[in-house]
Amino acid sequence: MDKLLIQGGKPLRGGVRIAGSKNAALPILAATLLAEQPVTIANLPHLQDVTTMVELLGCIGVDLTVGEKLTVEADANAIVHCSAPYELVKNMRAAVLVLGPLLARFGRARVWFAGGALSGARPVNLHLRGLEAMGARIHQSGGYIEARVEGRLRGARIVMDQVTVGGTENIMMAATLAQGQTVIENAAREPEIVDLAQCLIAMGARIRGHGSATLVIDGVTSLGGCTYEVMPDRIETGTYLAAAAATRGKVLLRNTCPANMAAVLRKLEEAGACLEAGDDWIALDMAARRPRAVSLTTEPYPGFPTDLQAQFMAMNALAQGTATVTETVIADRLGQAHELQRMGADIVVSGNVATIVGQDSLRGTAVMASDLRASAGLVIAGLAAHGKTRISGIHHIDRGYERIEEKLQILGADIRRVGSRSS
């Protein structure tokens, strides 16, 4: 297994281009199943999860043409199976996003789902409940979720018990081809939902209210083709900003969208960063100062994103002062605290709250990445620490960060990827 080796202590300096958003690309790729003509998706990030989703579409029978500059043309006219098999989806929760589109277009879908769909660590009960309200019959056996409907799905008023990004996406996609109107109350407002809605509208869907807590979808009988460019990745953007702040650096991030990042930019300013932004760029300058500790609580958008919690914990571990980080969106997501402690961080976790007393410095050591965003936190700590940090388990990082070591090298970091035998 590959590892990342980081010789820490160098401030990040320079400019990089932000990739397309993973969490917008995955539902948008799933949405191509709804169209009767080819859909071309541009600005796809080059990531393992995107490759898995493209392979899954191929396996379902979508005719795919991969073009230059991360563009994929998907033609869902010759679908042969309505099934997402175990081998392809076992490591990617987002595979459940094909359920709504397949059911709406073909009246049946079968998706393997890791963990308990109704009560596991991260269940999809709200996706299933919404589809049932639209007339689907759902049944689970042998790890598979099977859904069927006689004729078309029917529009319904669906009140989500909890804000769910994937649940809102699945139901919104299904509703585009349902008979009549669907209203989703307490819908997720994430920019990725807006991006998906805009892509569906370009395919001919009738959607209002995206970006608000009430989504109204008037079903149509068919959707057509379009060309759509995926939005920039706000989590990759926030990760590079936190890394620059933790290393007391100065960076310019291009091809991003500051308008989607208000809560994150506010926290960086509170930490002492000087920020400038245009329509599609953000510049951060720490003027060689140590960041100040910033307390935060993760919340659904427009609150502070759970996907940047680990990166900001790493920054706080090196900051001046004491901060609390409270995780309210995803259970058991403070696992990086333990590895940061091994690097000298002073962090006490109690339930979903971490209290971090900032240290003058951290020391490099061997650490293990346990999930995608936790690994990004460890990379930030390694970049700022004294000495050498060796991060294993980096397949997690490749799920969400395009060419992370190359981009960090461009910013002046001493980081390289090594195979396990050469480490």
Q: Kindly tell me which of 123 and 387 has the beta carbon lying closer to ligand EPU.
A: 123
Q: Kindly tell me which of 73 and 236 has the beta carbon lying closer to ligand EPU.
A: 236
The Cα–Cα gap between 291 and 319 comes to 5
CB of 28 to ligand EPU, least distance (A): 11
Q: 3-class DSSP state for residue 45? A: coil
The Cα–Cα gap between 326 and 296 comes to 6
Site for ligand EPU in 150-189 (CB under 6 A): 162, 164-167
Q: Kindly tell me which of 353 and 366 has the beta carbon lying closer to ligand EPU.
A: 353
Q: What is the DSSP string of 290-308?
A: PPBP--EEB-STTSB-GGG
Q: 3-class DSSP state for residue 252? A: strand
Residues whose CB is less than 8 angstroms from the CB of residue 284 and which lie 6 or more positions away in sequence, other chains included: 241, 244, 245, 249, 250, 251, 253, 268, 273, 274, 275
Using CB under 6 A as the criterion, what x/- string covers residues 229-258 for binding ligand EPU? ------------------------------
Cβ-contact 171, 197 below 8 angstroms: no
CB of 227 to ligand EPU, least distance (A): 22
Using CB under 6 A as the criterion, what x/- string covers residues 288-317 for binding ligand EPU? ------------------xx----------
CB of 127 to ligand EPU, least distance (A): 5
Strand partners, 232: 20
Cβ-contact 43, 419 below 8 angstroms: no
Q: Kindly tell me which of 124 and 138 has the beta carbon lying closer to ligand EPU.
A: 124
Cβ-contact 154, 134 below 8 angstroms: yes
374 backbone φψ class: left, alpha, beta (φ>0; ψ -120 to 50) = alpha
Cβ-contact 205, 32 below 8 angstroms: no
CB of 124 to ligand EPU, least distance (A): 4
Which one of residues 62, 126, 319, 337 is an interface residue with ligand EPU (CB under 6 A)?
126
Does 127 help bind ligand EPU (rule: CB under 6 A)? Answer: yes
Q: Kindly tell me which of 166 and 393 has the beta carbon lying closer to ligand EPU.
A: 166
Nearest 5°: phi and psi at 54? Answer: -65, -40
Using CB under 6 A as the criterion, what x/- string covers residues 322-361 for binding ligand EPU? -------xxx------------------------------
Which one of residues 44, 400, 402, 407 is an interface residue with ligand EPU (CB under 6 A)?
400
CB of 384 to ligand EPU, least distance (A): 22
Site for ligand EPU in 25-54 (CB under 6 A): 26
Q: And the tokens for 92? A: 């990617």
Q: Kindly tell me which of 23 and 176 has the beta carbon lying closer to ligand EPU.
A: 23
Q: Considering all CA atoms of the chain, what is the largest pairwise distance in Å, rounded to the nearest integer?
A: 64
Instruction: Summarize as ranges the residues that interact with ligand EPU (CB under 6 A).
Output: 23, 26, 93-94, 122-127, 162, 164-167, 306-307, 329-331, 372-373, 400
